[in-house]
Structure 1
Amino acid sequence: MSNGVSAVSSPSSGKVLFYLILTTFFWGGSFLFTKIGVREVPPPFFVLLRFSLAAVLMGLLCLPRLARLDRQTVRRGTIVGLALGVTNLTFVVGVQGTSISRAGVINNLFVLFIPLIARTVWKDRIGRINIAGIGLASLGIALLASGGGEGFNRGDMISTLCAFFIAIHIITVSKVLKDEDVWLVSLVQFCVVALMGAVTVLLVPTPSFSLGLTSLGTIIYCAIFPTVVCFTLQNRYQRYVTPTQAGLIYTLDPVWSLLAGFVVLGERLAPREWYGCGLIFLAVLIPLGVRFVIERRLVVRYLQR
């Protein structure tokens, strides 16, 4: 296989699917726990504490590998970490300012931002299906804006900005990282994000707060599950599926955040908000579905040769 993983060592497709879906479950849970946590802890402090704990945990896991940590891994991990840091800082502020139901759907717009960025920077062709997706997403955002409550509020806007930075992070990973040890890269990333959180805390005035059991629990959850565990599962199992298949699986993220918002927080959306979220979801799902069908056809043609 081209990725250097032998067929003998490859896990079953069912196992791969299970762990990638589990990853989306933990990521979806991060919306709920972050929303609860930032009620007590200012967003920059939340990022600082979450990624400081994640860095310590990943450092313990990486103890046998630390001797292989070289300047190149630090440099490349820092570049990727800067993108991850901006992503998480905008994520917590966005979740604080809107419902997790809306934030989860809006964050998935990263799928559409990736071809737009590739077009702007590398002059890649966007494609008609992506243009259609962008049009659907725009209509969905318009419905959210007129759906009641505050319309398309500040939290929604920052969540959209977060989706853009998610796309930047994904592109940065694919362009910058080569054959580095993914565990060590993750460790460097977490350290960089924690440092960015500390700098933000120093530069941005934040109100005083007390760290209660609830907020401490949310930080521990977010440090362990959607950070250390999810990065490990993603790095371990995503290599066995195509990017399109992974994208389709990751569209489950907003499903979990919608369920969590409905069941735990009692969030309710107005009809237009549901339609808007549905259109944004379709805007992401349709291009991924078309790419998946095209990939399957190419595989069938290749096998029939």
Structure 2
Amino acid sequence: MNKTQIQHSLLLFLTAVIWGTAFVAQSVGMDYVGPFTFLCTRSFIGGAALLPVIAFMDRQKSEEARLEEKKPENRKVLIRGGILCGLALCFASAFQQYGILFTTVGKAGFITACYIVLVPIAGIFFGKRCGINVWIGVILAVGGLYCLCITETLRIGTGDILVFICAFLFAAHILIIDHFTPYVDGVKMSCIQFFVCGIVAGIGMLVLEQPDISDILMAWQSILYAGLLSSGVGYTLQIVGQKGLNPTVASLIMSLESVVSVLAGLLILHQTLSGREALGCVLMFAAIVLAQLPRREKVS
């Protein structure tokens, strides 16, 4: 691994730390505001944070590249991708926000990380085969979820169900991004998705909640962290850090957000895990790592 790859790996690790600790910000912020209010405000902050990044990157592009992006057909693809990503992100984040109200940030982090196992499985429907390591990972993930979510009375918690739905929606979000990023500027599409997410969440906020500016100001630190760092900085670091790295290695590094979420919950919120839940975390992390291992090609 050369110096540039090491630097990019460190950027992705920083991304995982930011995303993992954002679970704490989400939990604390909702002590003051509703899930849609939190999601709406953080999304607009995230979108606004990317505007200067886009302006800077545009100045680095050649005139030919800028003219290519301005073509109507290319702009339509960018807008379509941003809208679809924004809708997927909004619904995924909404289920996650509501789920965190009823479960710990550590469990939420690991259950959300199921998307790393779900994505290759979903790829089967698009003609992409899964290796044996993925199927073993699925079995481990099911066992991990059982330890994390099923209580001694065999009842699944409401928060666990909501976060598990969120994992499916984040898997869809990743597949949408995978489809559009070869054709569009990833940072611009992220910016559009944040504003779309903010608008849709804003509708939910006005219909289902009673937003109050004083409550929003009480939660300003959590909202700013989730919006500026988790959304704006986190997604930008992901895009920059993934360049020049094997996508398998990149995904593996970013999956550490689930571990960070547990540590953050323990250290900051003083939340605890039972031995059974700790075993679930170990099984889930093993599943995440195994699902990302490259498949060995057959030698003809």
TM-score, with structure 2 as normaliser: 0.86
Question: Is 1:276 the equivalent of 2:274?
Answer: no
- Amino acid aligned to 1:34: Q
Which residue of structure 2 aligns with residue 117 of structure 1? 122
- Larger RCO (CA under 8 A, 6+ residues apart): 2
What is the identity percentage for the equivalent residue pairs of Structure 1 and Structure 2?
26
Compute the displacement of 1:151 (Å).
5.6
- Stretch deviating more after TM superposition (33-42 or 60-69): 60-69
The 5-angstrom pairing of residues 4-153 of structure 1 reads: 12-63=4-55, 65=58, 70-119=75-124, 121-147=125-151, 152-153=156-157
The 5-angstrom pairing of residues 281-296 of structure 1 reads: 281-288=285-292, 290-291=293-294, 294=296
Compute the displacement of 1:122 (Å).
2.1
| In 1, Cα distance between equivalents of 2:201 and 2:29 | 15
Compute the displacement of 1:60 (Å).
4.0
Contact kept in structure 2, 1:112 and 1:133, CA below 8 Å: yes
Compute the displacement of 1:147 (Å).
4.8
| In 1, Cα distance between equivalents of 2:287 and 2:127 | 22
> Cα deviations across residues 122-143 of structure 1 (Å, max 9, x unaligned)?
2433332212111111112222
Aligned residues: 284
> For residues 101 and 30 of structure 1, do their structure 2 counterparts lie closer, same or farther at Cα, with a shift above 3 Å needed?
same
Compute the displacement of 1:59 (Å).
2.7
Which residue of structure 2 aligns with residue 169 of structure 1? 173
| In 2, Cα distance between equivalents of 1:63 and 1:285 | 37
Contact kept in structure 1, 2:149 and 2:160, CA below 8 Å: no
Contact kept in structure 1, 2:26 and 2:97, CA below 8 Å: yes
Contact kept in structure 1, 2:37 and 2:211, CA below 8 Å: no
Secondary structure at 1:62's aligned position in 2? helix
- Amino acid aligned to 1:28: G
Q: Which ranges in structure 1 are unaligned for 5 or more consecutive residues?
A: 1-9
Compute the displacement of 1:179 (Å).
3.0
Q: Which ranges in structure 2 are unaligned for 5 or more consecutive residues?
A: 60-65
Contact kept in structure 1, 2:205 and 2:211, CA below 8 Å: no
| In 2, Cα distance between equivalents of 1:149 and 1:31 | 27
Compute the displacement of 1:217 (Å).
0.7
| In 1, Cα distance between equivalents of 2:185 and 2:147 | 44
> Cα deviations across residues 137-181 of structure 1 (Å, max 9, x unaligned)?
111222223456996311111111111111111111111232322
Compute the displacement of 1:63 (Å).
4.3
- Stretch deviating more after TM superposition (194-203 or 65-74): 65-74
Contact kept in structure 1, 2:99 and 2:161, CA below 8 Å: yes
